Homo-oligomer: A and B are copies of this chain.
Amino acid sequence: MSELENGWIKRISVTLPSIEDNTADADRLERALAAILKTEMVDIDLSVLADLPELFRKGNYNLRCVLFKDHKKWRLSGISSDDTDRLTGLAVDLGTTTVVLRLLDLSTGHALAESSFINPQISIGPDILTRLHFAEKENGLCELNRLIIEGLNRAIAELCKSCKIEPSDIYLLSVAGNTSITHLFLGLNPRWIIREPYIPVTNRPGCISARELGIRVNKSAGVFIFPNTGSYFGGDLVAGILYSGLNRGENTSILVDVGTNAEVVLGNKNWLVACAGAAGPALEGGVTKMGMMAGPGVIDKVSVDSETGLFSIHTIEGLPPRGICGSGLIDLAAALFISGMIDIKGKFVLDACGTKLIEKDGVKHFVLVYAEESSEGFDLTISQADLDSLIRSKAAMHTILETIASYVGISLSELSTFYVAGTFGSLINPRSAITIGMMPDLPEGTYKSIGNSSLEGASMLLKNSGLIDEIDAIRKSITYIELNVNQDFMNRFSAARFIPHTNLSLFPSVNSART
């Protein structure tokens, strides 16, 4: 079996001990590692030493070593004397809502299996802020830590079972999450993350012993935690940048992770500028009565026939509709606008809407799906208030994009690639997002959905040891700018509250489509 050239597994072979050369087993191992790694600074866990004498003698002094290096030092994460042993690694996207795992063969880099589970901390609170406040109660931090570690252990056990391997066959973990979730995962107090001047305990946790964290994998396994740039720019985004390749581009591109919080990175191989801001819950389907996270039966696509004005919908897995997710909402708003049913302020146009506009409790609602076609038994509607909320969110998103671009002195139209990360990003129709003026009017080919970039970045590291320095370089090269809600920001925000924008010259394609 041949290993990945740049992987974390290295083969060593040492001379047999004799009376003339009777130095300790550990010395022999360290000498061999020093020759390969060009350093004597390799942490060797006591548990590896405990196995060393037998494995050396079993393997006739040949071993495969799982090595790892963080920003500080090399660490030996496991040894094997048997070439048929499967040495695996686990990439983890540690999400606030969902945790996704991918098991990889460290020798070949092949993915073996993937699974996900709902972050059990949701039982404390769905949003991170509730959890951070809970962490300040007695034993609160301990409980939050226990929930995520136990959840992870259960998921690891199941994932291993499905692949017919043992958790002890996992020698490396690569974990990407936001700063707060990372702190809870490490059992570190997040108290000062949410208080001015917003200080995390650590930005670079580096590689920590799995055993110390209570993670049941190989006893000498190391857990690498993607570094964060500060309280509001986490390791998940650093992993995302790594995956997108933003930091290697000749031309300037942008990476946007849209959710309740929008995280944005702009840059190229020379510099990276990042910011994060609240885009509002509308984009995650969190405001309207019919809004919900993407899932079976949820409307993720909406279109309108510009001739007939008839709406057509698409649901996930083709089930009868039960609600709408963020991408569906954006499509819907774009369709309403294109068909003239809402005006440039996002207000319903009575004449154009006709009988689809009804009034409930004195509030206007547009009926997208009538009760008889819905799985819920009631009309799926969007109210004027829902639309207003969506427009505030899209305006906030656009303002954030404009602000960061103006900070570095470029125009959004100059972007060579617009990476959209996350589940929401993978569903979104760029044409609709452009139509409502949420995203800039770039050629559609410029938009690139990159899915779970946090998991992909974490997986990449398990396959390529050369990336560890790149991760540190990304972290270091990020200039994080605080989005000050000042007069300039408010002016931009006001201009962005029109569809697509007060300045129509920014959206030539929308302008021509509607007239």
Contact = CB atoms under 8 A, between A and B. Distances in A.
A256 to B, nearest CB: 24
Contacts of A54: 189
B17 A197 contact: yes
B19 A73 contact: no
A19 to B, nearest CB: 5
A83 interface: no
* Copy total for this chain: 2
Nearest to A190: B53
A50 interface: yes
Nearest to A191: B53
A23 B205 CA distance: 13
Given A24-B203, A482-B19, A72 B41 contact: yes
B19 A196 contact: yes
A18 interface: yes
A430 interface: no
B200 A25 contact: yes
Contacts of A17: 197, 199
Interface in A180-199: 186-189, 191-192, 196-199
A18 B198 CA distance: 8
Contacts of A203: 23-24, 26-27
Given A17-B199, A49-B201, 15 more contacts: A17-B197, A19-B196, A19-B197, A19-B198, A25-B200, A25-B202, A26-B201, A26-B203, A27-B203, A46-B188, A46-B205, A46-B213, A53-B188, A53-B189, A53-B199
Interface of A: 17-19, 22-27, 40-41, 43, 46, 49-50, 52-54, 72-73, 186-189, 191-192, 196-205, 208, 212-213, 230-231, 482
9 contacts: A24-B199, A24-B202, A26-B202, A27-B202, A46-B187, A46-B212, A50-B187, A50-B189, A53-B192
